[in-house]
Amino acid sequence: MKLSARNRLPGTIERIDVDGLTAKVTMRVGDNCIVAVITREAVEEMELRVGDDVAAVIKSSSVMIAKE
């Protein structure tokens, strides 16, 4: 698969919460978690399951930095 997005973060699905037409997919990326809200149909078509190795592909016009 070729994509124009350059920010690709490999991780593992930890949780999938389906609610009606949408699903919240939580994935572990190193010490961090990323949550994506996608369609239920996408979860079913991709046959996503907890434990699957996946990648978060991020394409954004801006990125914010925070310092604690």
* pLDDT band for position 4 (cuts 50, 70, 90): confident
Q: Where are the domains of the chain?
A: 7-58
Residues 28-46: tens digit of each pLDDT: 999 999 999 999 999 999 9
> What is the third-level CATH fold of 7-58?
OB fold (Dihydrolipoamide Acetyltransferase, E2P) (2.40.50)
Q: Which of 65 and 14 is assigned the larger pLDDT?
A: 14
**Which range is least confidently modeled, 1-5, 56-60, 64-68?**
1-5
Q: Which amino acid appears at position 43 of this protein?
A: V
Helix (H) or strand (E) holding 59: none
Whether 26 has a pLDDT exceeding 80, the answer reads yes
C-alpha closest to that of 32 among 6, 62, 10, 1: 10
